[in-house]
Structure 1
Amino acid sequence: MPAPASLGERVEFLLWVPPEASITQEHEVVPDANVDLLLELSDERCRAVLYGPLTRSIHVPSRAGHGYLVVHFHPGAMPRLVDASPSELVNASVELREVAGLSLDALGERLLAAGTPEQMREELTPLLRQVPYPPGDSFDRALRHLLARPEPLRPGALADALHLSTRTLQRAFKERVGFSPRTYTRIARLQEALSALREHPARSLSEVAHQIGYADHAHMTRDFRELTGRTPSDFRRPA
């Protein structure tokens, strides 16, 4: 589901899994620099969990008969829903008691009464707009620069290109995503490789590695093993 226009710079997308489609299962979530707000909805209660940026894979449980609404924030756009920094939430999660001052019971009632995913988005949007977000800084400049280039830059070269000190760049990434520019680029490249593997299942690993900017498929496999514990080929096999 597309992000609301008023939150397009903060929210990448929303995902709704209705109760009739959910199953009891552990879902693998691979490393990324994004923060996710997970809302679990049932007749009994509404549960809200904020998941921080990931440098390793985690498993998130779901229960059959429960609805799940996920808000996927852009990298560096972690909302101030908790009194914690992104670095404190790396590979971690925290349960919320409220969202923007609204109790979870009241929020759950509103979302369940909304009926459609689009109406749920309309209910949630005003609350998310009330939450403070980090102001623009050197991280935003660096991210725009990285997204505009076909190949990743080494942190020193990135700092030079932006006329920043390496220390300033390191601090900006630490404050906004919780880890270093080097870790960020590794994870961003992993995500790009995963997308390529899903979209082009017949393409060889060497071709995917070359497309993404790895030196060769052995380097790509090494990154996959270190970050996910699995090989690229594993992500082509049926789950």
Structure 2
Amino acid sequence: MPATTQPIRWTEQVSAPASLAERVEFMLWVPPDASITWEHEVVPDANADLLLELSDERCRAVLYGPLTRTIHVPTRAHHGYLVVHFHPGAMPRLVDASPSELVNEAVELRTLGGVSLDAMGERLLAAGSLERMSEVLVPLLERVSYPPGDSFDRALRRMAVRSEPLRPGALADELHLSTRTLQRAFKERVGFSPRMYTRIARLQEALCVLRASPGCSLSEVAHRIGYADHAHMTREFRELTGRTPSHFRPPARAVPTRVASVQARGASPS
């Protein structure tokens, strides 16, 4: 789940339909009457995202690559934001660029699945709910090609059943691959090394625990996620986000805020 320093409020979220379940983690909709003009802090994430910004004037679509550093992204009040959050390594071939070329980058699209954005934007706004929007968007996403399964997928499955992260060399040995082959598979699918992927995945897991269990001490969080200790977790947070873990804890008595928290990165709305 993408993480910002603001809570997600007044949004709709649905899991991917069966036809895209292996590619898409979820879809998120922030309606125009819930969004605000705000600059969101978005932390490193290995997932790619498709963001559609909807207004009466136009539909803007941007494909965002994986992040290895924190960035700040603005949103506008009274604009709707539809987000398709892809699984790691499942970035669709919507542009002529590889994942490694899109790390910390964004590319604005002109069409989606052969359909002009203006025509699609009108249909999406008319749909109203996220469930009906997905009926418009999913057939277009099904037309797009996705990377075929390879050593990267095998590595992710292996990593998912391990309680502790493996060094790239040890992971390659378990998969009967050379370290170079494993490195190349990660570079081609997520744009960076297995080690960086592991660091980012663990950071995202820690962020989930910090938000879901605000009463949990930082030492407990570090132990649960697999950091060597509290100091190690703090050092990783500082290196990857520029912040300490405490910065991402929800306020004890948070006042609900009208916030559109989206996995949007790179370019500012024009």
TM-score, with structure 1 as normaliser: 0.98
Correspondence 1:156-235 to 2 at 5 A? 156-235=169-248
Q: Corresponding residue for 1:49? A: 62
**Which of structures 1 and 2 has the larger relative contact order (alpha carbons within 8 angstroms, sep 6+)?**
2
Q: Distance in 2 between matches of 1:183 and 1:116?
A: 37
Kindly indicate whether residue 38 of structure 2 is the aligned counterpart of residue 25 of structure 1.
yes
Task: Tell me which amino acid in the other structure corresponds to 2:181.
Answer: T
Kindly indicate whether residue 109 of structure 2 is the aligned counterpart of residue 110 of structure 1.
no
Q: Distance in 2 between matches of 1:56 and 1:14?
A: 23
Q: Corresponding residue for 1:61? A: 74
SS, match of residue 12 in structure 1: strand
Q: Distance in 1 between matches of 2:93 and 2:207?
A: 29
Task: Tell me which amino acid in the other structure corresponds to 1:124.
Answer: L
SS, match of residue 104 in structure 2: coil
* Alignment equivalent of 1:11, drawn from 24, 33, 49: 24
* Alignment equivalent of 1:79, drawn from 70, 92, 117: 92
Shift of 1:116: 1.2
* Alignment equivalent of 2:168, drawn from 120, 145, 155: 155
Q: Distance in 1 between matches of 2:74 and 2:116?
A: 23
Superposed CA RMSD in Å reads 0.9
Q: Structure 2: 5+ residue runs without aligned partners?
A: 1-13, 255-270
Kindly indicate whether residue 106 of structure 2 is the aligned counterpart of residue 93 of structure 1.
yes
Shift of 1:237: 4.6
Greater shift in the superposed pair: 67-76 or 27-36: 27-36
CA displacement 1:4-55 (0-9 Å, x = unmatched): 1110000000000000000000111110100000000000000001110000
Task: Tell me which amino acid in the other structure corresponds to 1:75.
Answer: P
SS, match of residue 127 in structure 1: helix
Q: Structure 1: 5+ residue runs without aligned partners?
A: none
CA contact 2:211–2:250 (8 Å) conserved in 1: no
Task: Tell me which amino acid in the other structure corresponds to 2:144.
Answer: V
SS, match of residue 182 in structure 2: helix
Q: Corresponding residue for 2:50? A: 37
SS, match of residue 158 in structure 1: helix
SS, match of residue 26 in structure 1: strand
> Displaced runs of 4+ in structure 1, greater than 4 A?
none
CA displacement 1:134-169 (0-9 Å, x = unmatched): 000000000000111111111000000100000000
SS, match of residue 173 in structure 1: helix
CA displacement 1:45-79 (0-9 Å, x = unmatched): 00001110000011121100000000000000000
Larger helix percent: 1
